[in-house]
Chains A and B, each alone.
Chain A
């Protein structure tokens, strides 16, 4: 039975900004009413995260007219026009939780360890495995170089071999890793491997690290058991990492629920939404330094962090990883290569600047497309079915070459894509956010698209651990900005040839009946909260999920943009010739009213 709450205060302590929101019960529904923010105060001269929290709460107090602070204390419970019933918080300040993981086999226990750490909200700095191709001394040197906040060691199914995981423990002991924070505190290391190896691992490591033993994350090859280790990561995160960061011990005494790492909280609200609504969801949060991708497919939650893809501090790395041609292909004007490179490097060294000219906006949104595309690609590689397990195979399976380790991410199956992060949430026109995600992810068939209005997903995630209804009410009413629905047939039609015929029964009684040719994209406005019943008839050779040329009937939901019919082809291939490519980009931009004239 969730607690009876009328007023809730939630904060997220980000790397640069601390954001506070006020949630109030209005009748039977919870709504976010006020928000405030202030610079995060982890670094000098303040070196106390609670200062930034109090400043952000003070802004909420001023804007709401509700007294929230008594000196430097948050007033609880709520009474009249003062106080709150619950205060919760998340944090990614200080760069978040940075971990190194190790397992015996790269594609099995090491990969499970990676999923475990990512699901707990960590950035994974490196994944070591006995068979990762690096020699022993190279592994030792690598461990020594990195300054993780925490280590996760796994390997060996229960009752299986111990020598490989013991070897990894020996390497860790030899490297004597130093923690990132605080000279003089023991680096936490979680052992979640073969229980038979525990005595030897304890003997080797107990005097070198803060060793914690928990259940094997891969007790048998057929099953992952990530939850106990995830909980342990979270507990140690609070106890060691956060406690070392200035002001967090004090903050921990203020909150009514354990502080969560921001990405873990974001993942939790997405998982909750997907479970409650029975949806397959992809969520992305593209920040200044990292891009997080979350997915829930068939109830299985996965999270990846592309730790070096972002829009400011890591923006040059997007160029490095994607390559200049991949970025330049999205820019609808002929910027010389040298100029492009200089602009990107200048953004890298002055990351807090914003685009003032349309040219700069084009470039930033082109970079965002590539960052999103690469981040999803990395996510697809990790969000896979378990590898190495025995499968009952039929003859047809053998002919179909169905192997273990297939990606769970199915772009035809995905029901909803949610975008978050400044470049998506604060694009000057909502249709720009929709198109960035459409171009980067290329969902197939019928997909709803949305953005997070002001990045309150972390707040709602941590709130959901106490009051799921309050969190979901606010998520659906105030957090999510529906953009509309994208309809994209699979296949490559010849430009100008018929691709899709459609008939939409609009809510105002009109019937929209039309065709769209291959190579085109078109939008039909449909407000949020409205639905159009559509009959969609793909041309022969095009497929909307029911088979080639077979029609589909569906309810298409509206949003800030509406219904977008994308006949540009799946996969989407831009013309190789620069002139034709720029002409196509401009034509699509005009069709969608993407930019001001």
Chain B
């Protein structure tokens, strides 16, 4: 292939983003194109079908399935209250009558003359869909939702857990290479999006949940602590609904890795400002990255940078992050892009590049093991 590199994570001082918000099943869209919305504005709503309950009427009445309709007191579409008689027999002596009460309040969905079962459905549950970001509605999708455009700063992480959250940004560490510790997590950080430095250990994660932070953004955590946090060992990187008490976003990966200076500096600039974030991650089939979005409220700051288009490939001078041992997490620049394949210590011959480290050393790494720093 002509080019093979790992696309990078975005860390943009100013960008125009669009976020498509859609309901899981058809519903009602409540906004129009041009409307200004806040992150908590309800843009669409629907009703999720209620849970289904099965009642084996024929077993309870001792009849055959073909006879069921003769004994039913309610039919398809009828609403029933919990305890109400769904079906009953009519013996000569009323003393021996058997009634089948409805186990729930709901609607009779079907009566089967083959299986002898009755399906009852609970009332539908309302579902509201929030805008997630402050911005403007640029598109509505009839029956489904809307697309919101926002002018913002964006920080993408490599992995996250937990869903969407909103709050003010607060700095928990003094620098990108400092660990976030329980001692630094005072109660005043409750309700905030807390930005750490390099690392948070298990005790810090527990403290975060305890004081009620909305989100924690750090360079890395240990995989073992993630298992403790989730209550299970994560097998596949598809997240976003974990009930861990807050949203977690890792900017670098697993282990003790300094947050990239640029990422730390950008978030520190927005200390005290309202932001929203999402821990949802999906590594394949439509990649989703966890993110922190800080909407711009005024006209300050740099001009918006459009999302990077399809890149033509790496070039000398490009800033990169090395993302595999023995240089995991190290920031570098592309020094050279040899055409010929290079042999690496495993003896594989692969496409390589030469990268210049911060101390001036030049090393050879597989092109597959670098990440572009996108703006």
Contacts and interface: CB of A to CB of B under 8 A. Distances in A.
Interface of A: 15, 17, 37-39, 43, 45, 94-95, 135-137, 140-141, 162-163, 166-167, 170, 173-176, 178, 183, 200, 288-289, 308, 313-314, 316-317, 319-321, 337-339, 341-346, 348-361, 426, 428-429, 596
B344 interface: yes
A356 B346 contact: yes
A17 B2 CA distance: 13
A110 B201 CA distance: 46
Nearest to B159: A349
A343 B224 CA distance: 11
B244 interface: no
B115 A353 contact: no
Interface residues of B, number: 55
Given A316-B234, A344-B223, 4 more contacts: A162-B114, A174-B109, A353-B323, A356-B369
Contact of A350 (B53, B65, B119, B324): B324
Contact of A167 (B115, B144, B237, B254): B115
Contacts of A352: 6, 368
Interface stretch (B69-77, B186-194, B258-266, B282-290): B282-290
B325 A429 contact: no
Contacts of B52: 136-137, 140-141, 174-175
Contact of A356 (B1, B115, B324): B324
Residue from A95, A136, A288, A351 having most chain B Cβ neighbours under 10 A: A136
B112 A166 contact: yes
Interface in B239-281: 253-255, 281
A321 B235 contact: yes
Contacts of A162: 114
B236 A316 contact: yes
B186 to A, nearest CB: 28
A470 to B, nearest CB: 27
Contacts of A45: 310
Nearest to B349: A428
A262 to B, nearest CB: 16
B345 interface: yes
A429 B348 CA distance: 9
7 A-B pairs with least C-beta separation: A317-B235, A428-B347, A341-B223, A136-B54, A342-B254, A345-B223, A345-B254
Contacts of B344: 356
B167 to A, nearest CB: 25
A156 B224 CA distance: 47
Contacts of A346: 253-255, 323-324, 328
Interface string B177-218: 000000000000000000000000000000000000000000
A170 B112 contact: yes
Contacts of A314: 235-236
Contacts of B255: 339, 342, 346
20 contacts: A137-B51, A141-B51, A167-B112, A170-B119, A313-B236, A316-B233, A317-B236, A337-B224, A338-B224, A341-B223, A346-B253, A346-B323, A348-B234, A348-B236, A349-B254, A353-B6, A354-B350, A355-B346, A357-B326, A360-B324
Nearest to B344: A356
B346 A166 contact: no
Contact of A353 (B54, B116, B346, B369): B369
Contact of B285 (A95, A174, A354, A359): A95
Given A200-B114, A342-B255, A354 B325 contact: no
B236 A94 contact: no
Given A95-B285, A346-B253, A429-B347, A354 B236 contact: no
A156 to B, nearest CB: 12
A338 B223 contact: yes
B133 interface: no
Contacts of A341: 222-224, 254
Contacts of A174: 52, 109-110, 119, 121
A391 to B, nearest CB: 32
Interface in B352-366: 365-366
B85 interface: no
A580 to B, nearest CB: 26
B117 interface: yes
Nearest to A37: B1
Contacts of A200: 114
B366 A356 contact: yes
Contacts of B1: 17, 37-39
A264 to B, nearest CB: 20
Residue from B25, B114, B365, B371 having most chain A Cβ neighbours under 10 A: B114
B237 A348 contact: yes
Contacts of B233: 316, 319-320
Nearest to A427: B348
A351 B284 contact: yes
Interface string B121-155: 10000000000000000000000100000000000
Residue from A289, A348, A351 having most chain B Cβ neighbours under 10 A: A348
A356 B254 CA distance: 18
A489 to B, nearest CB: 32
A338 to B, nearest CB: 6
A45 B374 CA distance: 18
Given A166-B115, A345-B254, A355 B324 contact: yes
B317 to A, nearest CB: 22
Contacts of A17: 1
Contact of A428 (B222, B283, B324, B348): B348
Contacts of B25: 178
Residue from B121, B144, B222, B223 having most chain A Cβ neighbours under 10 A: B223
Contacts of B283: 313, 348-349, 351
A435 to B, nearest CB: 15
B144 to A, nearest CB: 8
A354 B366 contact: yes
Given A166-B114, A428-B346, A356 B222 contact: no
Contact of B323 (A15, A316, A350): A350
Given A313-B237, A349-B159, A353-B6, A358 B114 contact: no
B330 interface: no
B253 A350 contact: yes
B114 A163 contact: yes
